[in-house]
Amino acid sequence: MRRSEGIYPVGPILNKVSDKKFLQELSIPFASTHFLEAISSSQNNAFIRVWIDDPNSRPLFIPASARTKFEIRTHRNDIELFFDRSEVAIEDFRPWRFLDFPKRIGGRRFRKFSQTEFDKRLTIIPLLHLSGPGGLQAARTMRTLAKWGFGISSGNLQDTLLYDYVEQEKGSSHPLEEKTPSTGIIIHLHYHDLWPDFERRLALVSLPFKLIVTLTADDPTLRRRIADRFPNSECVIYPNRGRDIGPFIQLWRDGHLNNLDLICKLHGKKSAPSGPRAFFGDIWRKSVLNDLVGSDAIVTNIVERFMQHPELGMVGSRRFHLPNRFMELDEAWGSNRECTLKLARALGFPEEEFRLDFFAGTMFWMRSELLDLLKPLDLSQNSFPEEAGQLDGTLHHALERLFGALPRASTTRMTTEDTVWRHDHS
């Protein structure tokens, strides 16, 4: 192991790494298997960044716990790895020895969900099962992410993690030539600490929009921050009932969504307060936000699609468009088939014509007129059960699936499309 003597310059893709910080470098002189032990001090303690050969290139995000052992397999000679020294402290790095064999055979059921391959030149396998309870929890989170199509080496996960390290330009898209539709961005924010995720992305949007934020508890500091950043915004406080869907329905019922042509519905998705499990919710939230409001170009493109295609009723995240090859029909239904079909029948949608097609997490762009289809249900926030941490089988879980059917339930049989943010063509 050798340490770099100088400071490596970093490009705009790595804007979160100050050029005043050293990177730590590891040279692997020949194709082989190596053992690496590292201490992670990264903020989320779930991933560390590794650069291959060029510290100015796109980093690779590797799962890690507070202290992690790694198996590194190289498939060509003369590979160099770079780590941000503010995130990682290298404790041990050496060729793999026969005595290390027991480390390799443990935790086999998690290895395939945690290993990262880079251009078939390099495979990094975190031995999370050797990192105690935190490591095992991290391994289970990696398995859950893979189940949703966010495998470690996938573009879904790597692009989502990269977003915070890419310079996003404000107003970089072309202006719309026609009169733009009246647009509202609706955010339910039960967890107030998540506001920066939304603020950063919405600050990029040049298209005029009405911002409405629903809260479950008053927070004068947050309300002032939102108002300072978005002067024409509105904060509405509702009870913690029906998760994000109950307040959305009540907003509509109370007339807050009147005079809007297009609505972007978002919310502060979280899976757990802290720890590796919380990272699943973070990935879900940030990935959907990137796909729907991740750049000015994304927003402009979506609005332009609605303008050019009157038959388009809804646009959501491609990564969470269910069912898909990662989550098939039965699993996408969960325990919600009976309730969803009951609601659909109340709207005059025959059961035999109902096709499950929805955006998990209930975040999407839609034409506001589709909400009128829900009037026969006469819903309000009081229609929803008291919050008790329910994971499935409630009215709001059924409505999550019903929303996806609204375009096809319209008299004009509208269509649904999806969108995705990529770091190289945002």
Residue 284 lies in a domain: yes
Task: Please tell me the distance from the alpha carbon of residue 131 to that of residue 9, in angstroms, as a whole number.
Answer: 33
pLDDT of 104 reads 63
ω into residue 59 within 30 of 0, thus cis?
no
Q: Which two tokens stand for residue 200?
A: 């950063």
Q: Are residues 243 and 158 in the same domain?
A: no
Q: Give the number of domains in the chain.
A: 2
Residues 92 and 37 sit within 8 Å (Cβ to Cβ): yes
DSSP string, 109-166: HHHHHH-EEETTTEEEEE-GGGSHHHHHHHHHHHHHHHHTT--TTSHHHHHHHHGGGS
Task: Please tell me the distance from the alpha carbon of residue 219 to that of residue 122, in angstroms, as a whole number.
Answer: 48
pLDDT of 9 reads 29
Residue 38 lies in a domain: yes
Q: Are residues 412 and 268 in the same domain?
A: yes
Residue 1 lies in a domain: no
pLDDT of 13 reads 34
Residue 175 lies in a domain: no
Residues 364 and 333 sit within 8 Å (Cβ to Cβ): no
Residue 138 lies in a domain: yes
Residues 242 and 395 sit within 8 Å (Cβ to Cβ): yes
Q: What are residue 237's phi and psi, to 5 degrees?
A: -105, 125
Cβ neighbors of 121 (< 8 A, separation 6 or more) are 52, 74, 75, 76, 79
Residue 424 lies in a domain: no
User: Could you count the other beta carbons within 10 Å of the beta carbon of residue 65?
Assistant: 23
Residues 312 and 414 sit within 8 Å (Cβ to Cβ): yes
Task: Please tell me the distance from the alpha carbon of residue 10 to that of residue 366, in angstroms, as a whole number.
Answer: 40
Residues 90 and 16 sit within 8 Å (Cβ to Cβ): no
Last residue of a domain, one of 105, 132, 165: 165
| SS3 assignment, position 284 | helix
Q: Where do we find the tokens 């590794």?
A: 50
Q: Which two tokens stand for residue 364?
A: 């999407």
Whose CA is closest to 164, among 349, 337, 14, 332?
A: 14
Q: Are residues 161 and 197 in the same domain?
A: no
pLDDT of 176 reads 73
pLDDT of 175 reads 72
Residues 354 and 364 sit within 8 Å (Cβ to Cβ): no
Cβ neighbors of 113 (< 8 A, separation 6 or more) are 139, 142, 143, 145, 146, 151, 152
User: Could you count the other beta carbons within 10 Å of the beta carbon of residue 266?
Assistant: 26
pTM of the model: 0.90
Residue 2 lies in a domain: no
Whose CA is closest to 168, among 295, 17, 287, 290?
A: 295
Last residue of a domain, one of 165, 198, 228: 165
DSSP string, 176-234: PSSPPPPEEEEEE-SSGGGHHHHHHHHTT--S--EEEEEESS--HHHHHHHHHHSTT-E
pLDDT of 12 reads 34
pLDDT of 274 reads 63
* Crossing angle of helices 296-308 and 276-293, rounded to 10°: 50
Residues 212 and 248 sit within 8 Å (Cβ to Cβ): no
Q: What are the mean pLDDT values of the chain's consecutive 10-residue runs (426 residues total)?
A: 30 37 76 88 76 87 88 86 87 82 62 73 86 83 91 92 85 72 97 96 95 97 98 96 96 97 95 72 95 95 96 97 95 96 94 94 98 97 89 93 96 94 70
Q: Are residues 157 and 242 in the same domain?
A: no
Residue 5 lies in a domain: no
- Domain around 33: 12-165
Number of C-alpha atoms within 13 angstroms, CB side, residue 398? 18
CATH number at residue 379: 3.90.550
Residues 364 and 315 sit within 8 Å (Cβ to Cβ): yes
